Structure formats: structure tokens, C-alpha cells
Amino acid sequence: MASPSPLFLLLILLFSILPSPTSPSSINDTPSTYIVSVHPDAVKPSIFPTHSHWYQSSLSSLLSPSPPLLIHTYTGAAFHGFSVKLSPTQALLLRAQPHVLSLLPDRLRRLHTTRSPHFLGLGTSTDSAGLLKDSDFGSDLVVAVLDTGISPDRQSFHVRDLPPVPTKWKGSCVNTPDFPSSSCNRKLVGAKFFCAGYEATNEFRSPRDSDGHGTHTASIAAGRYVYPASTLGYARGLAAGMAPKARLAVYKVCWTAGCYDSDILAAFDAAVADGVDVISLSVGGVVVPYYLDAIAIGAFGAMDRGIFVSASAGNGGPGALTVTNVAPWVTTVGAGTLDRDFPADVKLGNGKVIPGMSVYSGPGLAPGKTYPLVYAGTQAGDGYSSSLCLEGSLDPKFVAGKIVMCDRGINSRAAKGEVPNSPPPTATIVFKGTRLGVKPAPVVASFSARGPNPESPEILKPDLVAPGLNILAAWPDKVSPSGIPSDHRTTEFNILSGTSMACPHVSGLAALLKAAHPEWSPAAIKSAFMTTAYTVDNRGETMLDESDFGSGHVHPQKAMDPGLVYDLTTFDYVDFLCNSNYTEQNIKVVTRKNADCSGARRAGHSGNLNYPSMAVVFQQYGIKQKMSTHFIRTVTNVGDGESVYSARVVAPAGMAATVKPEKLVFRRVGQKLNFLVRVQTRVAKLAPGGSVMKSGFIVWSDGKHNVTSPIVVTLQQPL
């Protein structure tokens, strides 16, 4: 499936946010919020005491009876500039000021809505060895969660046996009527909220969580050990986050309507200034060029300060080109299954059994009895909304005592389960509780967004997958497990699914790796995850393809000792953007650095970014029958001082792949060596607009470590 070119998308965006100066009569002057990027080398005039005064003065010069007021002033920790509501005319005038670099439209993002530690091989707090012990359970690390806030009184956030807050921490806890500053402690070290971009009206104007999503993701990343833990009688056992002793800093950026870029960027800026070590973001939106993407910009600013950023891949699967948060400096996480499920069979009156899953906790249906089965779209309500079983759309009198079949659709979480089980046909439901040892596992969840990467096809996304289906984690006491107002049940834990749940698994694991290897860069941590990931399920079968799972499923224990890493600096990313044909001004918007692209473009192509995976798209133009490309990579020895690695290359089917040299001889830890992989292929017979993806891999092995990178080749026939 072909995607619109970045240039075409950019032109659409520019014409949509800025009016034509030649036709003022046609201008729609309805104000919109813009994020204003200020030149990083622009110096604040000394006449102004603060940057806020300077920026407000800039707004005073705009044509308006009263100048617009600032929404956010960004400190410069992750982004240099401010956000403000402007008319299109005012936006044009502001853009013309010499210290203004660019204007980004404020976009709305959406949330990408315990057995996982055991499934990942992390064991329990009594382990005598392994990643948990070597990292002291992440004790001195701070994980920032940008989400819907937190419910601080949950058992997962208790302070028992935690040492004092790390002295490097510079953050704070806001004080509001429903969230006093005493809510923070040695576990929850910081809590702030950002709602200026979206003025919430019916929610806590504080870091307190009125949705549940933020509490859930925070406890996945860094929840303490809690036993017994379950929800509605399901998934009973020990609950724990990935980094049980890591500290949490919560930045509430998501509200009922969603999460606005201006607030997200303010949270990035605050988190970097506060001194966090990891940022976890289970939020996403449409893919746009990086210089128009506030998450990509904020994440770059964090990465530039040595902060690891992980983000959810999105829930748009299983279709291709659905992955979000695709910048190469972000670790993009898809969702896989656990070896645990909650089986429930629908047994039809004709004897046919349809397997499914359920966490229904009420009384079971009468054994041997069947109930009328009705379709909500035609028999139980008003059509479209009833077909999705939206709350209030079904006729209670009609559906009472029946089993209602709904379409999968937009309704949130478990709302479809709130209708009582509502002529022939008939059916019954048999609930079977919790089942362990499920095979196959892991499997990439159907909803998990897939590649290829729509913005940078030569960067394989998602990067990897982690548990994201039916995840048990902490839940606010004032939010029902279904999230439906008419549901008055409460629970300490809840089960949710989504790449939102997969992302904080990797965030917490990154805290463990950073604690065990404080000298590792964010790119080195990502590399350790990717090159040690596995692609074989518990039946010994290979999981689908790399556009689904990237490098594979995260393997924490092996990531602790990867042998070699593919490291990157901020200047490597600048070269990547140059080779991606970004202008030097657009690169400055993302990186806050001046870029001279002439040297970078002479040196190679965007696929030569020192990434732990290798991907290329061949456009089958003209009469050329053979095509080839090369990947130049540099690996850094983080294993044994003296070691020899030999390469094994498995080419994509029907293609040829070679590596030079075939051996890498290291003399010391920290030594860097280069190699080159060349891939050759012939033109494939494809229909106009068609494409085919094939994959192989390269493994560097010293007998102890296996450093694996996928090689993915896409052949595409133009229309």
C-alpha cells in the first residue's frame, strides 16, 4: 500500500494552518493554538526580565485590540519557545519575526489504550541474581509517566523499604485541594499537571487520575510487589512493575477529550528539567514529519540530555502503515500476548462452540440452559450505536435475559459487558476463569500497530514488542473497572489491553538497564533490547514478520549483557535528518542545532543511521533488473575485553547478502569496529502499486553473545 509523500503531506498542512497573504478577504480568522519554536541561538534582550516577558512582548506587536496570552512558556530543557492561541493572520505576523523559527499546530493525541514479570523472566524479589539484583530493582532511577495522572494511595505505590529520594532529583509535587503535596513520597517523587492546552472542565485539576489509564501504566513500569493481587477474581497472584524500586514522576497531560501537543511538550520540558532518567508515553496520533511532531521534538530534547524515551506503537493494527511514534530516537513498542488468558466459550444452540475471553465475575449461567441470541444492530436498539452496544443505546426491556452480540467498534474498554445477557437462535456462555501456559505465546496482538514506517521507511518500526494483552495493574478506587458511570464497582487492580500497556514494560526495563549500566546512552539501551529480542514463541515457531514485531519480543535478562551495542549521538540523528532531505531549518526545529547537510549527504543515505535493524525500500522504476544497497554499521564492545565475533548472514528469500569483514576482533571494552552489509536483489513481478516485503538477519556471535539485527527489504512497484 503506497502512502502519500512527506512533501505532499507537508504542503497540505501548511495550506491548512496558514492563510494565503494574497487573499485576505478569504482568511478565516478563527483562533487556533500554535506551538512556537524560537531560534535556539536567539538571545533574550536584556530589557526583559524573563523569557515569558520577551515572548509576551512579541505578541503585543500583533494586530489585535488585546494581545494573545501565553499558554505555556517552555524552559528550554527540551524545547525552546512557547504556545499561544492565534488567528491565522496573527500566526503569519508572528512567523515573520526574526527570532521565530517555526509554528506547529497544536494537535490532539489519544491514549493507546501480574504475570508479565514472570513471563519476562524477572522472577520475584527473592531472586539472588539477574537484572533485578544487578540494578537494585531500579532504586536510584526516576521514571516519568506522561499520562492521565495517578492515584497515589494504591498499594503498588507504597514506600516500604525504599531509601531516600535520589539527591539528583529536582522536581516537585503540586499542591491542590484533591492532591495535597503530601501525596508524594519516596516512591512518587513528583507530580504535575498540564491542562492549559486543553482546559479540562469535569476532571481533577491536579495530578489525580480520574480515568485509570495513568495509574495502570505507572504501576506496570514501577509498581511495588503486592500479594495477593487480582481483579474480580481473575489473574490472582503477585503483582509487580518492571522496576519495583524505581521512583515515579507523574505528569498529567491527558484529559477527557485527549492529550494536546502543547501540554505534552510542556511535560517533556518539565521532566527533563526535573532530572528524570526515563520517559514513558502511551499516547499517539497521526504520523507527520518530525518537525511538525511535538512528541518527536520533545523526545529529541530528552534524548539529547541522556534520557531514554519509550512510546506506544498505537492500536491501529493489524493493517500496514499504522505504526505511530516512529522517530528513530524513540523506542517504539508494540503489544504481544502473555501465556495467560481468561477463556469463555459461547456455545450455540446447534452445538457449535466459539472460543473467546471474558473477565465477567458475576454468577454463571444456568448449566444446560440456553438463552435467546440477538444482534444489537437490528434487534436490540436504534441501529448503528446499538450495533456497537454503546451505553444507553440498547432497550433494557428487550435485551433482558438474552445474549447480545455486538460489533467491535469505538466503545471504550468493557462497556459492551454492561448490558444484561439480552426467538432463536440460542446460546449459552461458559466462563472458565484464568488459564496459564497458553500456547502459542507470545503472539503479536491483533490491535498492535504495524509497519512499515510511514515517515522513514528505512527505519524499522515498531522496534520491538512487549506484553500488552490482558495486563493486570493498579487502578484508582474512584474509577469503576469498566470506566462506565453506571458501574459502581471498585477494585484495587484492573486488566487492560493495548500498546499503552506494552510501552511501560519497556520503560521500567530501561530503568533497570540504566541502573545496571549508568554509562549507557539511550541508543545503547535500545540496542541492547533489540539485538537480544527473540522471535520464536513457546511452541518453537517463528512469530509472523518484522513489520509486526520489529526486532522481536523483549528479553530483559539477555539485554543485561548484549555483548555489542549500536550506539548513536545526537549528531548522528542530525545526519540522518539531512539524508532524509529535511531542510536545515526544519532540522533545527527538531534538534535545536545548526546543521550543515552538505557533508552528511555526501557520506551516505538515511539507511546508514547506526540503527540495530536494517531496512530498505526499492522502487522498481525503469528497466533496471538488479538493485542493491549497503548498510554501514558501527558496533561498540560492552562485553568481554578481548573477544572475536563472527558473522552469520541469512539473506531475505531470493536475494543475496554479504558482510565485510566477516570477523570483528576486539581488544578492549568500549572499542568500536565497523562493518558493511550489502544486499542485492532482482526486480519482482508486481502489480502497479503493489509491494512485497522479505526479511533476513545478521548475527554476530562470540560463542557467548548473539547480537542479532533483522534485514528487511521491500520491493515496491509504482502506480
Output the pLDDT for position 596: 87
Distance of alpha carbon 514 from alpha carbon 16, whole angstroms: 43
Catalytic residue positions, numbered = 147, 213, 500
Output the pLDDT for position 603: 65
Distance of alpha carbon 75 from alpha carbon 273, whole angstroms: 8
Output the pLDDT for position 602: 64
Distance of alpha carbon 646 from alpha carbon 641, whole angstroms: 16
CATH placement of domain 564-568+610-716:
2.60.40.2310
At 201, list the grid cell: 472542565
The architecture of the domain spanning 110-339+440-559 is 3-Layer(aba) Sandwich (3.40)
Q: Which residues pair with 643 in a beta bridge?
A: 666
Amino acid code (one letter) for 451: G
Q: Hey, is 482 helix, strand or coil?
A: coil
Output the pLDDT for position 707: 98
Q: Output the pTM of the full model.
A: 0.87
Give, for 7, the enclosing helix (H) or strand (E): helix 6-17
Comparing CA positions, the residue from 607, 291, 313 lying closest to residue 461 is: 313
Output the pLDDT for position 522: 99
Residue 283 near residue 259 (C-beta atoms within 8 A):
yes
Percent composition of the chain: helix, strand, coil (DSSP 3-state, to 5): 25, 30, 50
Angle between helices 499-516 and 522-531 in degrees, nearest 10: 110
Residue 150 near residue 209 (C-beta atoms within 8 A):
yes
Which residue stretches of the chain have pLDDT < 70? Answer: 1-28, 63, 113-132, 198-203, 379-385, 408-423, 601-603, 623
At 98, list the grid cell: 526574526
Give, for 619, the enclosing helix (H) or strand (E): strand 614-619
**Domain boundary assignment for the chain:** 6-106, 110-339+440-559, 360-423, 564-568+610-716
Output the pLDDT for position 379: 59
Residues in CB range of 405: below 8 A, 6 or more apart = 373, 374, 375, 376
Comparing CA positions, the residue from 238, 319, 306, 314 lying closest to residue 281 is: 314
Distance of alpha carbon 225 from alpha carbon 607, whole angstroms: 43
Give, for 335, the enclosing helix (H) or strand (E): strand 331-336
Output the pLDDT for position 22: 36
Distance of alpha carbon 627 from alpha carbon 131, whole angstroms: 44
Comparing CA positions, the residue from 565, 556, 526 lying closest to residue 135 is: 556
Distance of alpha carbon 616 from alpha carbon 458, whole angstroms: 5
| Beta strand residue intervals within 125-263, DSSP E | 142-147, 188-193, 226-231, 234-239, 247-252, 254-255, 258-260
Residue 710 near residue 546 (C-beta atoms within 8 A):
yes
Output the pLDDT for position 16: 38
CATH placement of domain 6-106:
3.30.70
